[in-house]
Structure 1
């Protein structure tokens, strides 16, 4: 059975978030094509995860760069690195990933960056080789559904958008295939057109879900 992890990063919740409404359309379409898929939803604004503080950075350095063992870590370092590794292990179990987030101040909400930080675990999700880092999550597929208040695609502001761009870079670094993002933009610039913008994005999301469902993954 295939497994899909749905990661949302919007404190508004599913009833007020335009992105999550589009995400629901995606999930419904995906399940119509792959009804046997196991789905788990994560709300990053209500999700316990390790954060990159002094303890976690120290623990990562000791284990990955300085040849130390787990027993050499402090109790705080042990607790935080175990939480990071647990999240990474759980993430690896899935075949499909759907990320839903808004564009805030040119990037994604900080909780999404924190979540991604937990996935960069040497030996689990990537390894260092003579030719540079190599992702270990090949055979998995992801997509990003993003809402934007302004207009960026094909506009002067396009180069300033770093939320969707960074997410794609991070996932591809880990070896994951990333499909074209579903973008709903202009929601603040054209409030009178919000229903139309959301409806158009749902159509794109439904099509993207069918495309993802047809992609083969290593189950």
Structure 2
């Protein structure tokens, strides 16, 4: 049975978040194509994650760069590296990933960066080779649903958008196939048109979900 991880990063919750409403339309459409899909939802604003602080950076350096063992870590370092690896191992169990985020100040909410930081684990999601890093999560597929207050696509502001761009880079680094993002923009620039924009984006999300569900994954 295939598994899908739905990752949202919006403190408003599904009732007020336009992006999450679009995300629900995506999930319903995906489920219609794959009725047996196992879906898990996680809210990054509620998820207990370790952050890249001095202890976690030290632990990673000792294990990777300096070739030390787990027993050489301090108790605090052990606790944080265990938590980090557990999150990465949980992520690896899934076949499909749906990220739903708003664009805040040209990027994504900081909790998304923290989440991605926890996934960069050597030997689990990527390895170093003579030709550079190689992602280990090939055969998995991801898509990003993003809401934007302003207009970016085809506009001068496009080059300043770094939320969708960075997420795609991070996922591809880990070997994940990333599909074209589903974007709703102009929600703040044209507030009276927001309902129309959301409905139009839901329609595109439904199509994208069907296409994603029909793409084979390696299980």
1:20-71 Cα offsets, whole Å, 9 max, x none, are 0000000000000001000000000000011100000000000011010000
Q: Does 1:76 align with 2:76?
A: yes
Map of 2:157 onto structure 1: 157
Residue 29 of structure 2 aligns to a residue whose secondary structure is: helix
1:179-202 Cα offsets, whole Å, 9 max, x none, are 000000000000010011000100
Partners of 2:67 and 2:155 in 1: CA distance: 48
Q: Does 1:94 align with 2:94?
A: yes
Partners of 1:23 and 1:31 in 2: CA distance: 12
Residue 149 of structure 1 aligns to a residue whose secondary structure is: coil
- Alpha-carbon RMSD: 0.3
1:1-34 Cα offsets, whole Å, 9 max, x none, are 0000000000000000000000000000000000
Map of 1:125 onto structure 2: 125
Q: TM-score, normalised by structure 2?
A: 1.00
Map of 1:190 onto structure 2: 190
Unpaired runs of 5+ residues, structure 1, are none
Shift of 1:75: 0.3
Map of 2:6 onto structure 1: 6
Residue 100 of structure 2 aligns to a residue whose secondary structure is: strand
Partners of 1:102 and 1:88 in 2: CA distance: 23
Runs of 4+ in 1 over 6 A off after TM superposition: none
1:170-219 Cα offsets, whole Å, 9 max, x none, are 00000000000000000000001001100010001000000000010011
Shift of 1:135: 0.2
Map of 2:51 onto structure 1: 51
- How many aligned positions are there? 219
Partners of 2:41 and 2:95 in 1: CA distance: 14
